[in-house]
Amino acid sequence: MLVLQRAAGALFIVALSASLRGAPLQNLVTSADAIVVGDVQSRIESGSNTSFQLNVQRVLTGSPPSVVPISHDWGTTGSLSVPEAVAFQAYGIWFLKHNPVSGSWDVLRAQAKGKNLFASLYYPLSPAAATSITVQGPPNTVVEPLAMALIQSAVNASGSPEFVLDALGSTDSPAVRTALRDLLANGSSRSRAVAMAALLVRGDDGAAASLESVWPTISGVAEVADVVAALRDYYRSTTSQGIGALIGIAQSAAVPAAVRQAAVWALKSIHTQGTLPFLASLLDSDDGSLRLAGAIGIAAFVNGCPAQGPSNMPSLAFLKCAGTQWATAETKAHFIFKASTPADEAAQEAFWKTWWLANQAAIVPH
């Protein structure tokens, strides 16, 4: 019996499944013919397929039978070449796809984590959260209740609640924000970290403003890496509150250097007019990485570059700049957007320091 397997197999499943693997909640709800709460007690698993009976406890959408036989191909060339029985109870939300020709049912893969793992086929859910889901209206209205249930499940999740972060995707609403804030206030340390990351991704200024005070309660868990990543790569608020929160984090002694650096990175990437005084102050820092961040941010503003964020990462649109009233041949010649050689960095930093002194009054009137 061979049960050692590395996930993420090399082969594609059928086109439909391939396109949906790891899709967050919104896509799953759109694609599923039925959404149910149910459990699986055991399964047969091989390198290319898993089959099991899903006991439906609650139908959220669609009309599946009460016991759904599932045969799910996952196309791995992994090591489970000999089918084996696995006894393990799996309880949660399942997204089902019906084949109208054969009459059979399959499951849509719910989670990106663990590509060829049975655990990726559903979202684990607490029984209390399962009963709390209220479905009214057409299937697309189930997204928010499901999101709320997942967030509620995360409060007391025994394992990592990180899957909630990915499941929510871009799902956002006042109710979701409230639920995430509740999780941030009342969840376990791991759940609080996930909630903080989710709120930062949504540009929640209040969450950013509270990061410094929340930090001691989340600093010891693995999910804190998600918080740092969310702050650095996703939080792009341009409000005065948001920028003020970032500046506060960047200057805080209560958070580690990695968090301060993430805040500086975010400010550099945002580089709106409101960030400039802080970015300019970095030009006087003894820390070369901070001086560079200051120069990069000011140069991006003056040369009219869009803010950098996940949405324009593939297109690199943040490097396709349109200029501003302050852009000149000289500012273009001193455009710097990444680390280079020490001499070059020093030259650019000196230029932008001089430039700022000459132009700050016009940009940030007192």
User: Which residues, numbered 296-325, are part of the site for other proteins (CB under 8 A)?
Assistant: 308, 310, 313-316, 319-323
Q: Which helix (H) or strand (E) holds 106?
A: strand 105-107
Residues 6+ apart with CB under 8 A from 296: 268, 336, 337, 338
215 vs 318, beta carbon nearer other proteins: 318
136 binding other proteins? (CB under 8 A): no
326 binding other proteins? (CB under 8 A): no
Q: Please report where in the chains the tokens 């020093």 appear, as a residue.
A: 346
Nearest distance in Å: CB 138, other proteins: 25
67 vs 339, beta carbon nearer other proteins: 339
- Residue 321 is encoded by which pair of tokens? 């700049």
Quickly count: other Cβ atoms within 10 Å of residue 365's Cβ.
Answer: 6
16 binding other proteins? (CB under 8 A): no
Within 245-304, which residues bind other proteins (CB under 8 A)? none
3 vs 364, beta carbon nearer other proteins: 3
User: Which of 204, 205, 167, 198 lies closest to 183 in space, CA to CA?
Assistant: 198
Nearest distance in Å: CB 60, other proteins: 21
Candidate residues 197, 264, 279, 298; the one interacting with other proteins per rule CB under 8 A? 197
Within 43-102, which residues bind other proteins (CB under 8 A)? 47, 76-79, 81, 84, 86-88, 90
Given a contact cutoff of 8 angstroms between Cβ atoms, the answer to whether 329 and 253 are in contact is no
Binding-site string for other proteins from residue 146 to residue 185, where x marks contact by CB under 8 A and - marks none = -------------xx-x--xx-xx----------------
Nearest distance in Å: CB 136, other proteins: 28
Nearest distance in Å: CB 264, other proteins: 12
Within 114-133, which residues bind other proteins (CB under 8 A)? 114-119
The CA distance from 227 to 165, in Å, is 11
Given a contact cutoff of 8 angstroms between Cβ atoms, the answer to whether 110 and 123 are in contact is yes
Tell me phi and psi for residue 268, to 5 degrees: -60, -40
Residues 6+ apart with CB under 8 A from 238: 270, 272, 274, 307
Nearest distance in Å: CB 133, other proteins: 22
Nearest distance in Å: CB 314, other proteins: 4
Residue 92 forms beta bridges with which residues?
Answer: 38, 124
Nearest distance in Å: CB 332, other proteins: 8
Given a contact cutoff of 8 angstroms between Cβ atoms, the answer to whether 134 and 145 are in contact is yes
Region from 130-138, 210-218, 248-256, 334-342 binding other proteins, contact rule CB under 8 A: 334-342
User: Which of 32, 205, 191, 156 lies closest to 106 in space, CA to CA?
Assistant: 32
The CA distance from 74 to 194, in Å, is 29
